[in-house]
Each structure stands twice: as C-alpha cells, then as structure tokens.
Structure 1
Amino acid sequence: MERKSVAGSIRNKERSKKKFLDAVGKILRTKGYTALKVNSIAATAGVDKKMIYSYFEGIDGLIDEYIRSQDYWSKVNIKEIEKIKPKLDDGGKSFMEEMLLSQFDHVYSSKEAQKFLLWCLSEPRKSLKKLTETQEENREHIFKLLMDAHFKDNAEDVRSIVAIMVSGLYYLNMFSSLNGSIFCGIDVNTPKGRDQIKKAITFMLHHTYENL
C-alpha cells in the first residue's frame, strides 16, 4: 500500500507540474509574458499557488523550466545528436537541411514558441541568457562534428550563412503570425508559400555545400 501511495504522489506531482507549465504557455500565448504572475498562473492551472514554490522553488524556477521545454535548438543537444547518428560523409548537409525545415515548421505551428521568441527579444533575463549559451554550445557541437572539417578554411563563412538562415526563418514565422502573412510577395501562411520557402532553404544549403 505504501508503494502505491508513493507512486500516486509522484504521478500527482507530475500532473500538477504539467498543469503549471501548460498554464505558463497559455498565458504567454494569450496575454504575453508581462501577465505571468503567481496568482494568474495558479488560477489558470487550477492548482494551489503554494505548489509553485514546492515544485519549482518559485515563479522564476517555473518559468525557467518552461523556457527550456520550448526552445527548438536547446533540444538538439549533444545526446540527441548522438542518438540520431547523422551522416558524416556529406559534411552535415542532410542533417542541417532536416533541422532547418523542422525549425521552420515547429515555430509556425507553436504560438507559444513565437511568443517565447518575442520574449527573448524584449526582456533581459538570466535564464534567457543561459538559454542562448546552451543554444550556442549545441550549435558549436554540430559545426565541429559535421561541418568544420568539411569546409575547413570556409567554415566561418558557413556559420554566417546558417546564422542568417536560422534567424530569417524565425522572423518569417513571427511576421506572418503578427502583422501580415505576405513577405516579398510570398504568403507564408499558405501551403504554396511555405513550400516555396522550404525549396529556398534546400537551394541555399545545397548551393553553399557545392560552392564553398
């Protein structure tokens, strides 16, 4: 009986934690990061606000955990890359193509991710700074593992190109969500327009590998 009771407590805790994290996402999506207050999060989650301190050591811990759960490139970490075992003989081309296309779709389909990106640009926060450091560590691992040896003296040029592609894809999704879907004559909110962007991603990446 005691073992079942412990297991039940663990499940209840995990359910409550998920409710808090989901509440952060809902508030961020509908009202923005300025509305993330203890009382509003607890009310949205339907869980006693005291549990925020018990489970996360306060609102900062809760928000920090939410941030880690939402960022695309933080999930592409060293362990995940090792599980995927990307091809090495193409200099990381197929892996980077898949990552860029997946990033494009992920941000488009997640309003929370879009609000999260705006948050990153709007407020200085220790956890956000730590997040960017984690992103850079993961990207550095990708470059060193897959691309630096392939491009050699041109490796820094490739990093610049990837930086423009990653940030550009972020911006297109955020722009199409907030202030209109047409950018440079392409409707990013239509299947045709998104396919055009994806074809451009593939073209730029392949052109980079063929010419550097």
Structure 2
Amino acid sequence: MERKSTAGSIRNTERSKKKFLYAVGKILKTKGHAGLKVNDIASTAGVDKKMIYTYFGGMDGLVDEYIRSNDYWSKITTEEIEKMKPKIDDGGRSFMEEMLHSQFDYIYKNKEAQKLLLWRLSESRKSLKKLTDKQEENGEYIFKLMMDPYFKENSKDFRAIMAIVVSGLYYLNLRSSVNGNIFCGVDLTSTDGRDNIKRAVSFLIGQAYDNL
C-alpha cells in the first residue's frame, strides 16, 4: 500500500508540474511575458501557488524549466548530439544545414517559442541570461567538434556567417508572426516562400564550405 501511495504521489507531483509549465506557456502566448505573475500562473494551472516554490524553488526555477522545454537550441545538448552521431567527415555541413532548417520550422510552428524570443529581446532576466549562456555552450561544442577542425584559421569567419544566418531566421519568423508575411517579396507563411528561404540557407552554407 505504501509503494502505491508513493507512486501516486509522484504522479500527482508530475501532473501538477506539467500544469504549471502549461500555464506559463498559455499566459506567454496570450498576454506576453508581462502577464507571468505568480497568482495568474497558479490560477491558470489550478494549483496552489505555494507549489511553485515547492516544485521549482520559485518563479525563476519555473521559468528555467519552461525555457529548457521550449527553446530549440537548448535541446541540442552535447548528450543529444552524441545520440545523433552526426556525420563529421564533411565538417558538419549536412548537420548544420539540417539543424538550421529544423530551427526555421520549429520557431514558425511554435508560438510559445516566438514569445520567448521576444521576451529575451525586451527584458534582462537571470533565467533568460542562463538560456543564452546554455545556447552558447551547446553551440561552442558543435563548432569545436565539427567546424573548427574543418575551417581552421577561417573558423571565425564561418562563425560570423552562422551568426547572421541564425539571427536572420529568427527575425523572419518573428516578422511573419507579428508585422506581416511578406519580406523582400518572399511570402514567409507560404510553403513555396519558406522553401525558398531554406534553399537560400543551403546556398549560404555551401558557399561558406566551398570558399572559406
């Protein structure tokens, strides 16, 4: 009986934690980050607000957990890369192309991820700084594993190109969700338009690998 009771308690805890994480996402999508208040999150989750401190140690811990579960590049950890066993004899070319295409689609389809990006651009917060640091840590691992050995003395130039491409893809998705779907004559919400962007990404990566 005690074992069943313990298992039930664990399940209830996990359900409550998921309700809090869902509530953060729902509020973020509908009200933006300014709406993320303890009382509102607890009300939306239907769980006593005291449990935010019990389960997550407070708002920062809850936001940290939410970010880890929704940010694209935070999921591309060193452990996940090891599981993928990416092809490295091409200097990471195919891996980077696939990751950028996937990022482009992920942000476009995930409204919470879009709001998270806007939040990072508009507020200085410890949790958001940790997200940026974690992304850089994961990115550094990828560069050192595959790209730096391939590009050698030109690795900084390749990193600069990738900074422009990654930030550009973020911007295009945010623009299409907020201020219009047409940019430079490309419809960012149509299949053809988005395929054009992906081909452009592949072209830029190819140019970097062929000419640096």
The TM-score range, normalised by the shorter chain, is over 0.9
Identical counterparts, % of pairs: 70
User: Where does 1:173-184 land on structure 2 (aligned, <5 Å)?
Assistant: 173-184=173-184
Q: What is the match of residue 76 of structure 1?
A: 76
Partners of 1:74 and 1:96 lie apart in 2 by 15
Q: What is the match of residue 13 of structure 1?
A: 13
Q: Verify: 1:34 aligned to 2:34, yes or no.
A: yes
Query: What residue ranges of structure 2 are gaps of 5+ in the alignment?
Result: none
Partners of 1:211 and 1:51 lie apart in 2 by 55
Q: Verify: 1:57 aligned to 2:60, yes or no.
A: no
Q: What is the match of residue 169 of structure 2?
A: 169
Partners of 1:77 and 1:62 lie apart in 2 by 20
Q: What is the match of residue 101 of structure 1?
A: 101
Partners of 2:9 and 2:114 lie apart in 1 by 34
Aligned residues: 212
Q: What is the match of residue 112 of structure 2?
A: 112
Residue 39 of structure 1, CA deviation? 1.1
Residue 60 of structure 1, CA deviation? 2.0
Amino acid at match of 2:47: V
Q: Verify: 1:158 aligned to 2:161, yes or no.
A: no
Partners of 1:49 and 1:197 lie apart in 2 by 44
Q: Which runs of 4+ in 1 moved over 2 A?
A: none
Partners of 1:210 and 1:123 lie apart in 2 by 39
Q: What is the match of residue 187 of structure 2?
A: 187
Partners of 2:149 and 2:197 lie apart in 1 by 29
Post-superposition Cα deviations, 1:136-158, rounded to whole Å, max 9, x if no partner, equal 11111101100111111111000
Post-superposition Cα deviations, 1:1-35, rounded to whole Å, max 9, x if no partner, equal 11011011101100110000000000000100011
Partners of 2:143 and 2:62 lie apart in 1 by 32
Partners of 1:157 and 1:128 lie apart in 2 by 27
Partners of 1:167 and 1:69 lie apart in 2 by 21
Post-superposition Cα deviations, 1:96-139, rounded to whole Å, max 9, x if no partner, equal 01100000000000000000000000100111112111111111
SS state of the match for residue 162, structure 1?
helix
TM-score by length of 1: 0.98
Q: Verify: 1:129 aligned to 2:113, yes or no.
A: no
Residue 46 of structure 1, CA deviation? 1.2
Partners of 1:130 and 1:43 lie apart in 2 by 27
Partners of 1:142 and 1:184 lie apart in 2 by 32
TM-score by length of 2: 0.98
Query: What residue ranges of structure 1 are gaps of 5+ in the alignment?
Result: none
Amino acid at match of 1:95: F
